[in-house]
Structure 1
Amino acid sequence: MNKPIKVYLLSGFLGSGKTTVLKRMIEEFKNRNMKLGIILNELGDTNVEQHLFKDERAYELLNGCICCSIQDDLKTTLNQFVQSPVDVLLIEGTGVANPQEIIDALSSPDYIDYFPLTSLISLVDASHFLDYHSIFSSSKEIRQLLKEQISHASLLIVNKTDLVSSKKLEKVMTKINEMASDQAKVILSEYGEVSFDELLAARIKTIDLLSSNSSNRLPHHTIKAIKIEDIPSIDRKTFVSWLKELPKDVIRGKGFVRFHDDPFLYSFQFASKKVYFEKVDVSATETPIIILIGNHLDPSTIRSSFDYAFYV
C-alpha cells in the first residue's frame, strides 16, 4: 500500500475565513517542498475562488455538499490520489457542510488506511457568531450546523476578533466553550493569522484496536475512528447486540463482517442504535473490518467489550 496521505479538513460557516487559512497552509506546505492535493467544494456550479489554486493539483466538487449529494464525486476524486499520491491532502468543505459526514466518508473501509484525518480545523466568525446563534435572527438548521462544526473541531480558530469588543468576545467564547470538545485547541485570530505549527499539528488519531502498536493513552487527541481487523466469523445476533450496547459516543459504525454458517460477506451500517446489512457480491475482495466513528472513544472499553462478545 502507498504511504498514507495526511488529510487536513477545513470547516466553518460562510465567510468565516476558511479560504484565507487554506491559502496560508498551501504556501507553507509548498515552502517545505511537500506535494499537495486540494479538494474544493462549492454549493453552486462555479467555484469563484478556483483561480487562487490554478497552479495546484486541485479538484472542484460543485453543485452540492461533500456530505450529501456528491459523495460519489468525492470518492472518484479520492481514488485519483490513491493512484497518484501526494504528501498532504487539504479539503475545504462548503460553509454549510457538516464535518461529521466528511469524516464518515474518509473513514470508509476503502479509504481509512490511505487518508488518515490529521486535524479538523474549524473557523468561527466572531463578529457574526452571536447573530448566527440567536433564535431571533437565525434558523434552527444554522444553529445546529454551527454546533456540529464547533463540536467536531480538533483545532478551533475564532477569527475576526478585531471586529468585536472585548465584552462581546467574552460572550462569544462562553458560547463556544459550551459546544467545543474539551480536547480541542482554541485559538483567537485576526485575518486568519495562526501559527503554521498549530495548523500542522496532528490532533486526530485512528486506532487499530487489535494492533500491538496501538496506544490506549492519547491525551492530546480527539479519537475519531477505531478500526478492528482480523475478525473471525461471528454470530449475527451477538454482533447486533454488541453494536447497540456500545457507548453513546460511538456515532457511526460501518464495515464488512462474516457470519457463522453463511458463505457471504455482508456490509453493515450502524447509526442511532439501528443496524443495516447488505449482502456483498460473491466476487468482492473486501475482508472483514469494523470501523467505529465518534468522539472521546475509550479504546480499552471497546476492546474489552469486543473481546468479551466474540472471544469469551
Structure 2
Amino acid sequence: MKKIPVFILSGFLGSGKTTLLKQLLQTCEDKGINPAVLMNEIGKTDMDGEILHERNKQQIIEKLLDGCICCSKKGEVTGSIKRLLHNKPDVIFIELTGVANPEEVVDSLTEPELIEYVYLEKVITVLDGENILEYNSIFGSVRELVQTTRRQIEVADILIVNKIDLISQSQKEKIKKGIEKQNTVSPVYFTSYSEVDPNLLLTGIKEGEDQISSHRNRQSPTQNEHKHHHTHGQNRSYSRINTLTLDINQQVKPAKVDKFLKKWRPNLLRAKGYIPLKDGCYLLQHVMKRTNIERSEHLGKHYLVMIGIDLNKDEVKSEWAKLNK
C-alpha cells in the first residue's frame, strides 16, 4: 500500500508559512501533483484558508479553527486527514498555527486510523528574520512560547529564515549562530517573501507523468536511484523526526517495555501503542521519563510506535527482537 507523504509547515505567527505554502501548491499544480491541505488557525477566523481559495477555488482544504492543532484540536486531526485522503492526494501539507509544537502533530499521524496511510516526509520551519532575535525578550514572561519557538527550530528538517530584506548582514550572522546552537544538522535557507527553490523542499512526491524537474535531472545517478526508490513506494521518511512501528505478537511485560523505551533517551520523544497483557489489551503511552498504561477496547493488531529524533531504527529493531524472543 502506498502511503501519502505529509509535509508539516511550522513557524511562529507572521513568519511567512502561508506565503511558502502558496508557492508549494503552485509548484504542485505545475508538476501535475495533487495536493491537499490541513490548515490550523488559533482564532475563529479562517484568513489563511481564504487566501488559498483565492488562488485556487478547487484547492482541497480541511480547516481546524479556534485552537491549536497540537493540544485543544489534536483529537480532530485524524478525522480531518481521513477526509483529505478521500480525495486521493499525492501529498498533504499541514500548516500549523504559530504556537504549535510540530512533534505533537507527528504523534497524531501515528494514530491507528492513519498509520497505514500517511507518513511524515519533512518538517519545514519558517523563521521571522526580522524578529527572531527578540523572541527571548518578547516572550520573556511566557516561557512556553520560548520553548515552542526553540522546538520548532530543533526538530526542523529544513529551516527558512524569511524577511532577510529587512535585516542587516550582522543580524543575519547572529541568527545563523543562534540556529546552529539548536540545530546543526538541517540546511538553512535565507529568503525574502519565503522564495526558495521548491525542488529543495518537495521530495517524496509522485510527479505528473510528463513533469520531471530539472533539479532531479541534474543529480548524480546514485541520487536519482535513491529518489526513484523513495518516490515509488518504499515510503522512507527523510525527516529527522522519525517514527518506527514495532509489531507485538505475544504478551509483554510493561516493566520490560518501559526499560526498553528509556534505553533510547534522549532521542526518543514519545511512544505509544496497544500491548497485550494477561487480562487483555492496554493502551501504552510514554513521554520523557514516564510510561502509563490503561485498559483499552482496541480490537485490532498490537503494536508500539516510537517517535524520536534521529533514532537508529536498525538498532531499535534489533533490541526489540531480543526482548521478544
TM-score, normalized by the shorter chain, greater than 0.5: yes
Q: Is the 8 A contact 1:243 1:273 kept in 2?
A: no
**1:237 alignment counterpart:** 255
Where 1:306 maps in the other structure, the secondary structure is: helix
C-alpha spacing 1:200/1:138, structure 2 compared with 1 (3 Å): farther
Q: Is the 8 A contact 2:271 2:286 kept in 1?
A: yes
In 2, the alpha carbon distance for the partners of 1:227 and 1:137 equals 39
Q: Say whether residues 1:189 and 2:191 are aligned partners.
A: yes
**2:41 alignment counterpart:** 42
- Within the candidate set 45, 54, 65, 1:62 is matched to 65
Where 1:49 maps in the other structure, the secondary structure is: helix
1:225-281, Cα deviation, whole Å (9 max, x unpaired):
11112532223332232223333210100011112x33x121111112211112222
- Within the candidate set 246, 249, 253, 2:267 is matched to 249
Structure 1: 5+ residue stretches without partners: 204-212
Q: Could you tell me which amino acid in structure 1 is paired with residue 300 of structure 2?
A: E
Q: Say whether residues 1:126 and 2:129 are aligned partners.
A: yes
The worse-fitting range, judged by mean Cα deviation, of 42-51 and 170-179 is 42-51
- Within the candidate set 277, 289, 311, 2:293 is matched to 277
Q: Is the 8 A contact 1:36 1:86 kept in 2?
A: yes
Shift of 1:15: 0.9
Q: Is the 8 A contact 2:127 2:162 kept in 1?
A: yes
**2:112 alignment counterpart:** 109
**1:209 alignment counterpart:** none
CA RMSD of aligned residues (A): 2.3
Q: Could you tell me which amino acid in structure 2 is paired with residue 276 of structure 1?
A: N
Where 2:47 maps in the other structure, the secondary structure is: coil
Q: Could you tell me which amino acid in structure 2 is paired with residue 42 of structure 1?
A: E
The worse-fitting range, judged by mean Cα deviation, of 18-27 and 133-142 is 133-142
Q: Could you tell me which amino acid in structure 1 is paired with residue 40 of structure 2?
A: N
Shift of 1:20: 0.4
Shift of 1:221: 5.0
Alignment size in residue pairs: 293
Q: Is the 8 A contact 1:225 1:291 kept in 2?
A: yes
**1:156 alignment counterpart:** 159
Q: Is the 8 A contact 1:268 1:277 kept in 2?
A: yes
In 1, the alpha carbon distance for the partners of 2:32 and 2:131 equals 37
- Within the candidate set 295, 301, 309, 2:323 is matched to 309
Where 2:118 maps in the other structure, the secondary structure is: coil
Q: Is the 8 A contact 2:120 2:239 kept in 1?
A: no
Q: Is the 8 A contact 1:37 1:88 kept in 2?
A: yes
**2:301 alignment counterpart:** 287
**2:173 alignment counterpart:** 170
C-alpha spacing 1:231/1:76, structure 2 compared with 1 (3 Å): same
1:171-218, Cα deviation, whole Å (9 max, x unpaired):
1111111112x3312111111010011120359xxxxxxxxx899xx9
Where 1:95 maps in the other structure, the secondary structure is: coil
Q: Identity of counterpart residues, as a percentage?
A: 31
Q: TM-score, normalised by structure 1?
A: 0.87
In 2, the alpha carbon distance for the partners of 1:185 and 1:83 equals 34
- Within the candidate set 144, 148, 154, 1:145 is matched to 148
**1:210 alignment counterpart:** none
In 2, the alpha carbon distance for the partners of 1:214 and 1:74 equals 21
* Greater fraction of residues in helix: 2
Structure 2: 5+ residue stretches without partners: 206-233
C-alpha spacing 1:79/1:167, structure 2 compared with 1 (3 Å): same
Shift of 1:135: 7.1
**2:23 alignment counterpart:** 24
Shift of 1:139: 3.6
C-alpha spacing 1:239/1:29, structure 2 compared with 1 (3 Å): same
